[in-house]
Amino acid sequence: MRKGDGLMLLKQGFDNERYLKQQTKAILERVEKFNNKLYLEFGGKIIFDMHASRVLPGFDPNVKMKLLQELKDKADIILCIYAGDIERRKVRADFGITYDVDALKLIDDLREMSIEVRAVVITRFNNQPAAKIFKNKLERRNMKVYTHSFTKGYPKDVDLIVSDKGYGANEYIKTKNPLVIVTAPGPGSGKLATCLSQLYHDHKRGINSGYAKFETFPIWNLPLKHPVNIAYEAATADIGDFNMVDPFHLETYKETAVNYNRDVEVFPVLKKILERIMGAKSVYKSPTDMGVNRAGFGIINDKKVKEAAKQEVIRRYFRYACEYALGFVDKKTVERVEAILAELDIKPEDRGVVKPAREASEEARKKKKGNEGIYCGAAIELKDGSLVTGKNSPLMHATSSLILNAIKKLAEIPDRIHVLSPSIIESIGNLKKNVLGAKTLSLDLDETLISLSISAATNPTAQLAMQKLKELKNCEVHTTHIPTPGDEAGLRRLGVNLTSEPNFSTKSLFVA
């Protein structure tokens, strides 16, 4: 370890290298336990796991990709996606892309790491039109695609489930490596059913394969009410997940372990299915036994991760409040997170950028004559802890003003100096209104960033400011309004941690 690395780890709170080493070892040990053929249900995000990186400071959001690189000579990958998620165009919130697009992106990302996806499985397939189009698209790009229907008899009729009419009705996916990683864009994608279907077919062929689960959250060896585990409940408030002590583990081992409700509820049925398939009793004695998660052993600064988890709960509150305003979630989802805030004795204003953003909005209101219009404010906390704000104007959205102010501060450019020429802003505004028919001249963040890059070609000050954009990654940002598509896209590309108030930036119902 180099000088200063230990201090950095304590500042971060999570030792990524220790975690990677222990996690790799735990998975390979489980493979050996089942005669070198294991189906590993890979929960959570396989790449860009931003939730984990936020609640466990120091956690590499792509550590699972590094894990796969360690295991790639021993592993096949199967990617599952639920047909219903394709049909209703379910969105992965942190990227703003649909699950089917995320699946395609994941395949590309894995290929860049020289890791091939052996097959894609469309689960609970019932000839949904959008799912059929997705299947065609993949097959015409030479991807192997399987469709699995809903398992007959599930979850009560084990005899029917474990039969040729149940799991046996699904087409068998041939694999060659001892470890088969079954992953998906998100929860409810059919990973478990795919693993069990493969187990059924294997055992009919005399292959004594096994099953295990790799799920980062909740962390089984942290207390039930630890903020990191509570943050998981906030992250899944839309599907109503909640943590609980694993009663099967407690009864068998007299040890407390944390799991979540769906795993505990399904365990008795899953245990029967596994025993029926494998012809053995007590394969696992508890849901916790099934897991191979070692994330808890990577925590080296509990105080740091507790505080980070509380901040994540606040972020989730703002996200769900906005999604409720947009019609994506119901009121109960917001109420669940409000209850979690109360449980942790925190409030939205405990997020450091909230109050400055609101003050910037109020400043905009005071400077504008009359009481008509929408007054938007935004704030960012830079890496050194300093705060910068921005507000909307006839020329710029609040987020555009915010980012320009932030990079000017980082580049030590005086306020009086423009990094964007007023004539350029005016010219783009005229193009929007007079040629493209836009209702407003004000530049959103995407338009502002493009304008900045053009100015940088001839303006050294703009070039100096533009070089500071990369320093905004992982900074905390809050806006007093729901970002427009152009603002949201720009903030996402900059990689900031964004929260917003559930207010609209315009009175118009349609925002392009």
Domain CATH for 387: 3.40.140.40
Please indicate, yes or no, whether residues 343 and 476 belong to a single structural domain of this protein: no
Residues of the chain with pLDDT under 50: 1-10, 370-371
Q: Is residue 148 part of a domain?
A: yes
Q: Give the pLDDT score at 115.
A: 84
Please indicate, yes or no, whether residues 340 and 197 belong to a single structural domain of this protein: no
Q: Give the pLDDT score at 94.
A: 65
**CA distances (Å), origin 40, targets 146, 281, 503:** 18, 20, 43
Cα separation, 278 vs 201, whole angstroms: 11
Q: Give the pLDDT score at 155.
A: 86
Q: Which residues of 235-258 are buried (b: 16+ CB within 10 A; e: fewer)?
A: bbbbeebebeebebbeeeeeeebb
Q: Is residue 268 part of a domain?
A: no
Q: Give the pLDDT score at 429.
A: 76
Please indicate, yes or no, whether residues 340 and 446 belong to a single structural domain of this protein: no
CATH assignment at residue 83: 3.10.630.10
Q: Give the pLDDT score at 2.
A: 46
Q: Is residue 423 part of a domain?
A: yes
**In contact, 148 and 170? CB cutoff 8 Å:** yes
Q: Is residue 333 part of a domain?
A: yes
Q: Which parts of 394-490 are beta strand (E)?
A: 476-479
Q: Is residue 76 part of a domain?
A: yes
- From the number of C-beta atoms within 10 Å of its C-beta (0-12, 13-18, 19+), residue 300 rates as middle
Please indicate, yes or no, whether residues 344 and 390 belong to a single structural domain of this protein: no
Could you tell me the pTM of the whole model?
0.88
Q: Is residue 8 part of a domain?
A: no
**In contact, 152 and 169? CB cutoff 8 Å:** yes
Please indicate, yes or no, whether residues 328 and 405 belong to a single structural domain of this protein: no
Chosen domain end from 188, 211, 234:
211
Please indicate, yes or no, whether residues 330 and 371 belong to a single structural domain of this protein: no
Give me the torsion for CA of 196, 200, 206, 208, rounded to 10°.
20
Please indicate, yes or no, whether residues 370 and 331 belong to a single structural domain of this protein: no
Beta bridge partners of 500: 479
Output Rg (C-alpha) for the chain, integer angstroms: 25
Write out the H or E segment, with its range, that includes residue 241. none
Please indicate, yes or no, whether residues 390 and 361 belong to a single structural domain of this protein: yes
Please indicate, yes or no, whether residues 423 and 478 belong to a single structural domain of this protein: yes
**In contact, 461 and 417? CB cutoff 8 Å:** yes
Please indicate, yes or no, whether residues 157 and 103 belong to a single structural domain of this protein: yes
Chosen domain end from 348, 375, 408:
348
Q: Is residue 227 part of a domain?
A: no
Chosen domain end from 174, 192, 211:
211
How many domains does one find in the chain?
Answer: 3
Cα separation, 115 vs 111, whole angstroms: 5
Q: Which parts of 328-385 are beta strand (E)?
A: 377-381
Q: Is residue 442 part of a domain?
A: yes
Cα separation, 279 vs 276, whole angstroms: 5
Please indicate, yes or no, whether residues 357 and 334 belong to a single structural domain of this protein: no
Write out the H or E segment, with its range, that includes residue 433. none
Domain that holds residue 336: 302-348
Please indicate, yes or no, whether residues 320 and 452 belong to a single structural domain of this protein: no
Residue 285 backbone phi and psi in degrees, to 5: -100, -10
Number of alpha carbons in the 13 Å side-chain half-sphere of residue 319? 21
